[in-house]
Protein backbone atom coordinates (compact mmCIF):
# COMPACT_ATOMS: atom_id res chain seq x y z
CA UNK A 1 0.00 0.00 0.00
CA UNK A 2 0.84 3.67 -0.13
CA UNK A 3 3.29 5.13 2.38
CA UNK A 4 3.58 8.89 2.80
CA UNK A 5 6.40 10.60 4.66
CA UNK A 6 6.22 14.24 5.67
CA UNK A 7 8.92 16.64 6.88
CA UNK A 8 9.47 18.57 9.03
CA UNK A 9 7.24 17.55 11.92
CA UNK A 10 7.39 21.06 13.37
CA UNK A 11 8.16 24.35 11.69
CA UNK A 12 8.39 27.78 13.21
CA UNK A 13 8.69 30.89 11.05
CA UNK A 14 8.46 34.62 11.51
CA UNK A 15 5.43 36.40 10.15
CA UNK A 16 6.03 37.34 6.54
CA UNK A 17 8.54 34.58 5.90
CA UNK A 18 7.89 31.56 3.68
CA UNK A 19 7.20 28.04 4.88
CA UNK A 20 7.90 24.84 2.95
CA UNK A 21 6.64 21.38 3.85
CA UNK A 22 7.78 18.33 1.90
CA UNK A 23 6.25 14.89 1.37
CA UNK A 24 7.32 11.74 -0.40
CA UNK A 25 5.12 8.85 -1.46
CA UNK A 26 5.81 5.27 -2.43
CA UNK A 27 3.01 4.17 -4.78
CA UNK A 28 3.63 5.37 -8.32
CA UNK A 29 -0.08 4.79 -9.08
CA UNK A 30 -1.10 7.64 -6.76
CA UNK A 31 -2.63 10.36 -8.87
CA UNK A 32 -4.07 12.92 -6.50
CA UNK A 33 -2.19 14.87 -3.85
CA UNK A 34 -4.19 17.14 -1.53
CA UNK A 35 -2.99 19.25 1.34
CA UNK A 36 -5.11 19.79 4.42
CA UNK A 37 -4.99 22.30 7.24
CA UNK A 38 -6.27 21.13 10.59
CA UNK A 39 -6.97 23.38 13.52
CA UNK A 40 -7.30 21.99 17.01
CA UNK A 41 -10.43 19.91 17.49
CA UNK A 42 -11.64 20.31 13.93
CA UNK A 43 -11.70 18.22 10.82
CA UNK A 44 -9.08 18.77 8.11
CA UNK A 45 -9.82 21.49 5.59
CA UNK A 46 -8.64 21.13 2.01
CA UNK A 47 -6.40 24.06 1.13
CA UNK A 48 -4.94 23.03 -2.20
CA UNK A 49 -4.55 19.91 -4.29
CA UNK A 50 -2.67 18.77 -7.36
CA UNK A 51 -3.18 15.93 -9.77
CA UNK A 52 -0.50 13.80 -11.35
CA UNK A 53 -0.77 15.44 -14.75
CA UNK A 54 0.25 18.84 -13.34
CA UNK A 55 3.64 19.92 -11.99
CA UNK A 56 2.69 23.03 -10.09
CA UNK A 57 -0.42 24.81 -8.85
CA UNK A 58 -0.80 28.13 -7.10
CA UNK A 59 -3.62 29.75 -5.19
CA UNK A 60 -2.75 33.19 -3.81
CA UNK A 61 -0.13 32.63 -1.08
CA UNK A 62 -0.19 28.86 -1.35
CA UNK A 63 1.49 26.73 -3.98
CA UNK A 64 2.11 23.04 -4.43
CA UNK A 65 4.73 21.37 -6.62
CA UNK A 66 4.82 17.74 -7.71
CA UNK A 67 7.77 15.73 -8.99
CA UNK A 68 6.34 12.41 -10.19
CA UNK A 69 9.72 10.97 -11.11
CA UNK A 70 11.10 11.51 -7.64
CA UNK A 71 7.69 10.86 -6.03
CA UNK A 72 7.71 13.93 -3.90
CA UNK A 73 5.54 17.00 -3.56
CA UNK A 74 5.78 20.16 -1.53
CA UNK A 75 3.59 22.86 -0.03
CA UNK A 76 4.82 26.44 -0.16
CA UNK A 77 3.22 29.21 1.87
CA UNK A 78 4.49 32.72 1.23
CA UNK A 79 4.01 35.85 3.33
CA UNK A 80 2.95 33.74 6.30
CA UNK A 81 0.47 35.14 8.80
CA UNK A 82 -0.29 34.09 12.40
CA UNK A 83 -3.60 32.60 11.26
CA UNK A 84 -1.63 30.15 9.11
CA UNK A 85 -0.57 28.46 12.34
CA UNK A 86 -2.05 24.95 12.33
CA UNK A 87 -1.17 21.36 11.54
CA UNK A 88 -0.77 20.63 7.85
CA UNK A 89 -1.16 17.17 6.37
CA UNK A 90 -0.17 15.99 2.95
CA UNK A 91 -1.85 12.98 1.39
CA UNK A 92 -1.47 10.75 -1.62
CA UNK A 93 -4.31 8.80 -3.08
CA UNK A 94 -5.32 6.40 -5.76
CA UNK A 95 -8.18 4.32 -4.38
CA UNK A 96 -7.80 5.40 -0.78
CA UNK A 97 -6.04 8.23 0.97
CA UNK A 98 -2.92 7.95 3.08
CA UNK A 99 -1.74 10.86 5.14
CA UNK A 100 1.65 12.09 6.15
CA UNK A 101 2.34 12.42 9.86
CA UNK A 102 1.64 16.14 9.81
CA UNK A 103 3.61 19.35 10.29
CA UNK A 104 2.82 21.73 13.10
CA UNK A 105 3.40 25.20 11.68
CA UNK A 106 3.78 28.12 14.05
CA UNK A 107 3.91 31.63 12.63
CA UNK A 108 5.29 34.10 15.15
CA UNK A 109 3.98 37.67 14.94
Partner 1 sequence: GAVVSQHPSRVICKSGTSVKIECRSLDFQATTMFWYRQFPKQSLMLMATSNEGSKATYEQGVEKDKFLINHASLTLSTLTVTSAHPEDSSFYICSATQGSGNTIYFGEGSWLTVV
Which residues in this chain contact partner 1 in the complex, by CB under 8 A? 31-32, 34, 36, 41-46, 49, 51, 89, 93-102
| Residue 51 beta carbon to partner 1: minimum distance, rounded to whole angstroms | 7
DSSP state of 16: T
| Residue 91 beta carbon to partner 1: minimum distance, rounded to whole angstroms | 8
Q: Are 42 and 28 in contact (CB under 8 A)?
A: no
Peptide bond into 8 cis (omega under 30): yes
Q: Given the complex with partner 1, which of 46 and 56 has the nearer CB atom? A: 46
Give SS3 for 30.
coil
Q: Given the complex with partner 1, which of 77 and 91 has the nearer CB atom? A: 91
Amino acid sequence: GENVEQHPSTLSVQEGDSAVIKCTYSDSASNYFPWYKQELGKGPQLIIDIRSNVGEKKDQRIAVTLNKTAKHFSLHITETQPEDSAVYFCAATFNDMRFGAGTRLTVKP
